[in-house]
Structures are given as C-alpha cells and as structure tokens.
Amino acid sequence: MEYAKLGRSGMKVSRLCLGTMNFGVVTEEQESFRIMDAALDAGINFFDTANVYGGKDNHGRTEEIVGRWFAQGGGRREKTILATKVYGDMGDPLDGPNRDRGLSAYKIRRHLEGSLRRLQTDHVELYQMHHIDRSVSWEELWSAFEIAQQQGKIGYVGSSNFAGWDIAVAQGEAKARGHLGLISEQHKYNLLCRLPELEVLPASQALGLGVIPWSPLDGGLLGGSALKPSEGRRSVANQERIEKHRPQLEAFAKLSAELGESEDIVALAWLLHQPAVTAPIIGCRTLEQFERSLKAVELKLDEAALKRIDEIFPGPGGDAPKAYAW
C-alpha cells in the first residue's frame, strides 16, 4: 500500500480510503467485519463513514457496525484513521427544531457526541462537514470545531461537497483565527464527472486540502457491468445514462482491455494519477469487490494511456481561471 499526507496536515493516510456506506444497508454486519479486517491487512488505514449512513429510518447503523468492529480489539481502533461527518437530520426527536439539515455549534456538539458513542471511541481523526451551510457564520463553526479539538474529540476538520468559493472562504476565516483550517475536501469526482477540475481541485491544492473522491465509478457506470445485459431491472434513469454515455463506455472498455485491466481498476488508477487526489473512496459491498480494488494502486498509467482517457472523457477545458478566458 502507498501512503500520502492528507492535505497540509502531517497525518499519513493510505492511497485508498475504505468507504462504509453499504455497511448495514446492502452488506450484512459479518461481511462488513471481514472487509474491514481485510482492509487493515492490506495496509488501508483510512476509513470513511457518516452519522447518517445506515439506510432510511436507520441513521447511525453504519457507525454502530464500525463501533462493534472496533470493540473486538486487536488494535483495530489504534490502526485506523477514522473519518465521519455531520450535517444531516438524524431523526432524533430531542433535537426539536434543530433536527433539520445544517450546521450549528449546538448541532456539531450533539451529533459529535452521538457519533463517538456509536463508534465506541473517544475521538475521530477527521470530522467532516457533509455539506456547506451558508446560514451559519464561520465564526460559529470554527469556534465549535476548535472546542472539539481542544477537548481531544477530533483531530482535524474536513469538508465535503463544498464549492471552490466555500473552501476559499473557510480557509480565509480559519487563517484569521490562527487555525489550521480544512485539511480535506470529499467531492464527487470521476471520469464522467470532471467539473471539479475547474475550481474545487485547484482551490484545494492551493489552500492545503487533500481531495477524497466519492463515487469514483459513478454509481457503477465505470465498472464495466453497465455494458453487460442486466440480470436485474435497471431504473429508467440508469438505463438512460448508460445509453447517453455508451460510445464513451465502449471506447473505455476497449482501452482497458488493451491495458490488460478491467474498467473499474483503470478508473480508480486514473484518479490516483491526479495531483490533487489523496485517496479515492472504495465503497465495496463484498469482500471480493474490495480485494479487486486493491489492484488500482499497482496500476501505473503512462502518458499515452492518460491522453487516450482524456480523449474519451474530456474534462471541462482546464483549470480556473484559464478555462474561462484565453
């Protein structure tokens, strides 16, 4: 396994991040345990979760599964760099009018306590805002995170689904307080979704954030199975997306075959070749899927392969501000 520092922090994380969103939803608990054990054995030390994961009406279930895995001991917690998130409605009636999606010092305190309880730990290495909440001042947010850091409950602060502008404002406000600020941005980024290259990736690089791509296979479209006859029933929306991108997907399948790898491995390897990216999230449903994903770290794409990928999946035209002008 390869490792890299996460943003401008001194903390090193594996170049692949284990996503847990399927745990307790489509992946039963014992299989989740096997996947997490295999991740540690493979050298993956970076695990990502969120307080709302667990399925409809079962928010928190995924954190509970991770917590029960930690409780087995064997150094599991000590070997894991743990990331979770705050923002969503946890369905707790005690939150009253503060149940709504969003951020506040009140909500950060309550929801962090809930996450730590479910995760059976006294701290998380990375606490991420799941979305931006522009109705809350950065003075309030940074104050809340600083208190949690002083209490030893969180190590670093990260963002998710932020625009480049939000990242810039957050870092400016943090600098004014003498605070390290954000060290990571978790963002949807893949071969079919390259819009972040315009501003989110350049802003992250310039301001010291490591990018953690979610949905690296775009919901399975880049996994190869999209071109195969479906054994089950695909939704109309998914089938329409497949048909929309069929020429690209067919060209990508051909290139991947020439490289001697499957489409999913090539798509993950491409992300690992992007300078702003620290670790794509692999959200495996089974142990077999997890074990396949490990090959992405070993695959090195040469300039010719990267050029052909750009021809199949052209980006937004370059970084800001060049893409907006001459």
3-state secondary structure 243-306: HHHHHHHHHHHHHHHHHCCCHHHHHHHHHHCCCCECCCEECCCCHHHHHHHCHHHHCCCCHHHH
Query: Residue 203 and residue 207: Cα distance in Å, rounded?
Result: 6
Catalytic residue among 53, 87, 127, 156: 53
* Cβ-based neighbours of 223, under 8 Å, separated by 6 or more: 217, 262, 263, 264, 267
d(CA 213, CA 189): 5
| CATH number of residue 301's parent domain | 3.20.20.100
pLDDT of the chain along its 326 residues, tens only? 999 999 999 999 999 999 999 999 999 999 999 999 999 999 999 999 999 999 888 999 999 999 999 999 999 999 999 999 999 988 888 778 887 889 999 999 999 999 999 999 999 999 999 999 999 999 999 999 999 999 999 999 999 999 999 999 999 999 999 999 999 999 999 999 999 999 999 999 999 999 999 999 998 899 878 888 765 556 777 888 888 989 999 999 999 999 999 999 999 999 999 999 999 999 999 999 999 999 999 999 999 999 999 999 999 988 888 888 87
Cβ–Cβ under 8 Å, residues 13 and 278: yes
Of residues 129, 105, 138, 141, the one with CA closest to residue 51 = 129
- Rounded to whole angstroms, the Cα distance separating 42 from 291 reads 9
Q: Are 37 and 7 in contact (CB under 8 A)?
A: no
Residues forming a β-bridge with 281: 17
Number of domains in the chain: 1
127 a catalytic residue:
no
Q: 12-14 and 3-5: which strand pairing?
A: antiparallel
Cα distance between the two ends of the chain: 41
Residue 113 belongs to what domain range? Answer: 3-324
How buried is residue 120: exposed, middle or buried, by Cβ count under 10 Å (0-12/13-18/19+)? middle
Q: What is the pTM of this model?
A: 0.93
Instruction: Give the orientation angle of helix 29-41 with respect to helix 61-70, to 10 degrees.
Output: 60
* CA pair distance 129, 149, nearest whole angstrom: 15
CA distance 263 to 267: 6
Give the C-alpha separation, 203 to 158, whole Å. 14
